[in-house]
Amino acid sequence: MSCYLGIDLGTSGAKALLMDTAGKILATASAEHPIAAPRPGWSEQKPDDWWRSATQAVRRALHRAKVDPADVAAIGLSGQMHGLVLTDGDGEVLRPAILWNDQRTAREAAEIERAVGGRRNLVKMVGNAAMTSFTLTKLLWVRRHEPRVYERARHLLLPKDYLRLRLTGEYVGDVSDMSGTLMLDQEKRDWSGPILEKFRIDRELLPPVVESHEITGRLTKPAARQLGLKPGVPVVGGGGDQPVGAVGNGIVAPGLASATLGTSGVMYVHSREYRADPESRVNTFCSCVAGQWCLFGCVLSAGGSLQWFRNTLAQSEMQQARREKRDPYELLTAQAAEAPLGAGGVFFLPYLTGERTPYADPFARGGWIGLQAGTTRGQLIRAVLEGVTFAMNDALQLLKAAGVRIRQIRLSGGGARSPIWRQMQADVYGAPCAVVNADEGPAYGAAILAAVGAGEFRSVAQACKALVQVAETIQPGRAARARYADYYRQFTRLYPALSDEFPRLQALTENGR
């Protein structure tokens, strides 16, 4: 019996998922990889670590599913977006990858917009403003600060496309992921000649781009041996984790939105028409549906904020979780559930790595505001959950202001697994929220794209209609919705009140004072 493999390359680890032709998940498995912060605001990883975690995850999934490797009919890829991977002509990586949440490129981002005559002109050319997260800013930083590396570079890849290189030997990208490079003409779904000319980027450095369901190469013998698969398995284009996660949630038609809480948080809607916000308060990308697009806003430290709390301030819960073989997040959210709505007047700004939507501020910083002598641990945790949800609501309000109509928001990631966080999101967003039958987001979407590429379905839309079903709907509570509206209004006042101070804090840190 045929099955399909989805590989999702996340920031903290890789996940592999095997799905049968009916959409049933046969097995999943994960493996972690490290992240480095050599300087404040920097974020890097070694691509070899991605390959190691991906191969481990695939082997574990195959073992758990107990499937014949010959039954794997196609492979789909998903991955963290915007990261810069540079290789030489032999495919050897020249430096650690600079990741999506790296904030070192504020100077380059400003220079890009000045060079093209302002933000609105850049949006007309590539659909988005120049934010520090996007790939072109990183490429220009390398050219300025590491010229020898730049001179040796022959190929630019995004993170999941480095996995493709290791799987197939092919240098290929897809339109959804490459939309986040600031170098793709999204209307034409090809590289922007004017951008490449303006910034002296050799087109040979960039891979050809395809639609997400198209076959890009086949599994080589060495890669098959490492993965425990048969050589020759086709590998499809795949896409960035957010567009592919939308496929996994069935967000491939107007009226549906998704709220994904991973390390970052994304509020995402599908669009059949190309439309870019002139101010780029929300991003426009090509979607994984051929010839269509999406709009979304990104909160840089969403689940990452709760992860920071766990790693830094929750050692007792970590130890208890190990003893009882439980998820430490379950212990933390249980404490949050005991705290009152509004966390006793404590607010959390989730800007641990700067912010993207709606402020595009690499200097923004996080923190609790409103602490009192009687503030409890549960209130601190609840404030983290609420602060992240308020930040996600910032993105939702911008999408609504752009004229997008939303009838249902589908939840995924850590925020979908927690009952308190699911209800909190419905109450804050003021809209019906839902979880679907497969809460695996990008990995599931990658497997769906593999099935389409292998000919199991005629289109991505047909595959999602057949495979993705709503499992639960969460309605907002009337009283909670009204109370959260008041707390949200207060939350929106905090960043403007503090924004001028954040660059000063950064300067103090850099000067070692």
H or E stretch covering 267: strand 265-271
Q: DSSP E strands: which ranges in 272-397?
A: 283-286, 293-299, 347-349, 367-369
Q: Is 185 a catalytic site residue?
A: no
C-alpha dist (Å) from residue 235 to 18, 423, 449: 14, 38, 10
In the three-class reduction of DSSP (H, G, I as helix; E, B as strand; rest coil), residue 412 is classed as: strand
Question: The tokens of 62 are what?
Answer: 């195959």
Q: Which of 282, 284, 350, 399 is nearest to 101 (CA)?
A: 350
Cis-peptide, bond into residue 358, ω within 30° of zero? yes
C-alpha–C-alpha distance, residues 118 and 130, integer Å: 10
In degrees rounded to 5, what are phi and psi of residue 243?
A: -60, -35
Question: The tokens of 339 are what?
Answer: 């705290």
C-alpha–C-alpha distance, residues 218 and 196, integer Å: 30
In the three-class reduction of DSSP (H, G, I as helix; E, B as strand; rest coil), residue 475 is classed as: coil
Which one is catalytic: 161, 174, 241, 427? 241
Q: Which of 277, 222, 258 is nearest to 408 (CA)?
A: 258
**Torsion sign over Cα 441, 413, 311, 43:** positive
C-alpha dist (Å) from residue 317 to 327, 374, 388, 438: 9, 21, 21, 28
C-alpha–C-alpha distance, residues 243 and 262, integer Å: 14
Residue at 180: amino acid letter: G
In the three-class reduction of DSSP (H, G, I as helix; E, B as strand; rest coil), residue 71 is classed as: helix
**Beta carbons within 10 angstroms of residue 231's beta carbon:** 13
Question: The tokens of 217 are what?
Answer: 């190469």
In degrees rounded to 5, what are phi and psi of residue 18?
A: -110, 130
Residues forming the active site: 241
